[in-house]
Chain A
Amino acid sequence: MLLLFLLLALAGCDGGAVSGTVIWEGARIYGPGDVVAGEMVVLDGEVTVQQEAEVTGSVYMLGGTVEIAGSVGGDVALIAGDLGLGPTAVVGGDLSIGGGDVEQSPQATVRGDVLGGSDVNVSLETLFPQPTARQRLLRLLPQALIIAVLAYLVARFLGRPLAHVRRATVDHPIVSGAMGLLVGIVAPSLLVLMAFTVILVPITLIALLLAGLVVVYAWIGLGAALGRWLRRVLRRDWSPPVSAFAGTLLFMVITNLLVFIPLVGGWIGILATAVGIGAVFLTRFGLREFTLSYDFGPPHESPAN
């Protein structure tokens, strides 16, 4: 998510105001006379800024190795990785060291302050703390219960719209998934675009809140579908709110547990959420039933032979 927003933020900037180069991997050498316009974000790989080469903006290191013998117009911030500042290196702003290793020549020039050690103690883990497996499991049940109670209330008071969303997830999972993925890609970009206009920042905050509500609504829609299936399999006489509660509880528990499966676990939850979000949009937040614009499926006719 950090990377996504970083990329989108850079994408949202005008080339003249804030622009940047993101280096993902491989070796990159900037020789004498080369100018890297804007910010440079190094995620991995080996970057060499030779003498008389220039980075006009700041250099942010999240990994990899950077050797600087030329000049950097802005700050150099190191969170992780290896940084080398040669005798001819010139840093126009501050040198901030939050993690990683720095090898700085005494002749290197830092025009701003050198912040590090006791001044700054930043690392990816401290910036974006990842909960441990135990913490996740402890949070899981209360979180799932809160969403399940919400599902009960939605099914109790907004039964018809929820039924529309539920049916769209079950009857049209591919179309819903496609719509959900599209919204999932476009919405963050739109939020970044709005945030950059400054004047729309308040609307961005409201939109962020709405986005959160849509995600919860999507989970409830999927939970309602799962609850209905459970009711049928277990042959219980549950009311729709009860089956929505049970299904949502189970859905939340399953998707949170799936995260522990390496590589694919998280993606299953994301794809399921995409189906739910798509269903919410296709039914216009449950206000109408979604039907295909035209029935295209293979009829009883065999087209050839």
Chain B
Amino acid sequence: MWLFHFLKTRNWTALSGYLLFVGMMAVGYYYNLTFVQFGLLDLGTRLVGLTREQVAVNMTYLALTTTVVAIGVGWTMTRRGWSQRFLLKLRLAFAVVLVQTLLTAAAPFIRSETLFLAWILAASVALGVGVPATFGLTVDLIPVGDRGLAAALITAGAYFPAAVFSGVWTIETLSAQMVTVMIPGAAALGVLAFLRLPLTTTLIRDLSAQHRRPAFGQGRFVRMGPEGEGRISRYLLGLITLMFAIYFIDSLGFLRLADTPFFFEVAWQAPDLFPRVTIGVMHVIAALIAGALYTAMGERLLFLWIFGVFAMVHLMGIGTSLGMPILYALAVSLYTVVNFAIWADISTPRTITRNTAVGVALSGWAATFLSTALSLQLAEMGVSLEAHLRLVDALAMIFFLLVLALLYFQPAGERQVTEG
């Protein structure tokens, strides 16, 4: 593993870059899991006085704006060649963290719907810029061979504290918690991105050159075409498209569960520490499993395992024991690891920002937008929780059948390719 290689060879530059990326992404993902997902719900319902449905509508604006901004920024960065400029991406990341820190600190003071909506729009623009800028740093900071491990560390680093320590999901608690982490983070990023000290100058110079090295730049699934353009197989593209379905189905089920506090009280927000630690440990184990398998297995088997576990968990239905959240944690961690690693591995340093923006925005944000919209529509139609979850299970069943069909179709080979 490259991480141990860097330690053994005392390559502090590469090691700093590695840790910077893992730390930044883990905190960013923790922020999304807790502050964006539950803090805003608390802010909207308790302090602003909106209904859960109104908050959900506002969240769809957040998701949609983030998707549009991310794709626009990612595309522009690729077209203008900014994807390959490490320092620019770092400065953008700093700007995003700075804006997000200010917004996070200001959030508990919002009391009107107009301000709430303005906050959401400002946050979605920042998140939209942040997606291509931060994910784009993968090609500069994480060697191809360690992308599974780095993704596992990010996933474990975000899910474990989210499961274990965030028992109180109020906007005040989450805001104070996040600001405490984000202020030193923003300061460190600012020093690295803007101050021209001897140490930072050397660090930036060396890290800027890393994406040109074979171990870093070209993604694992990219094959170079005759004119030097990156290509990936259509089979892989199909698998990635299927992964979007995972996000949609998962989000659709989770949203409705979030409306049912009873499910949370026995697991994610259990008053006892044991269930929360168990779920957190399962996230860590599953992330490390996924990290090891991502690196070692071919795309077909890898995706089959992820899809299979996901479908199985949904087909098991929704019980109220701890067994279900444990299995759910396994499925979620598996596909989250792949989501952190795959975009850089289907890209070159030139295309990383565009591919990441499209991938993350569509899977993470657009899927949330669509599932929230559908969830609200179903609730308005008077569909009960049980019927809603049956629909989710039915979708999971269709998905499972598609996975079984995949077993019979072998990759068509490297000749069928598309631009990556």
Contact = CB atoms under 8 A, between A and B. Distances in A.
Interface size class of A (residues with CB under 8 A): 35 or more
B318 interface: yes
Nearest to A11: B323
Nearest to A7: B323
B144 A296 contact: yes
Nearest to B263: A15
Interface residues of B, number: 61
Contact of A175 (B144, B292, B313, B319): B292
B321 A26 contact: no
Interface stretch (A111-119, A121-129, A130-138, A179-187): A179-187
Interface stretch (B31-39, B49-57, B324-332, B370-378): B324-332
A178 B292 contact: yes
B296 A172 contact: yes
B362 interface: no
Contact of A26 (B11, B271, B293): B271
A181 B285 contact: yes
Given A20-B319, A24-B275, A301-B215, A178 B289 contact: yes
B194 interface: no
Interface in A17-68: 19-26, 28, 37-38, 41, 45
Nearest to B144: A296
Contacts, number: 155
Nearest to A179: B293
A258 interface: no
B11 A303 contact: yes
Contacts of B320: 10, 15, 19-21, 37-38
Nearest to A15: B318
B233 to A, nearest CB: 13
Contacts of B309: 182, 186
B381 interface: no
A12 interface: yes
A21 B2 contact: no
A173 to B, nearest CB: 10
Contacts of A38: 320
B212 to A, nearest CB: 10
Contacts of B266: 21-22
Given A182-B305, A292-B296, 4 more contacts: A6-B321, A10-B324, A20-B319, A20-B321
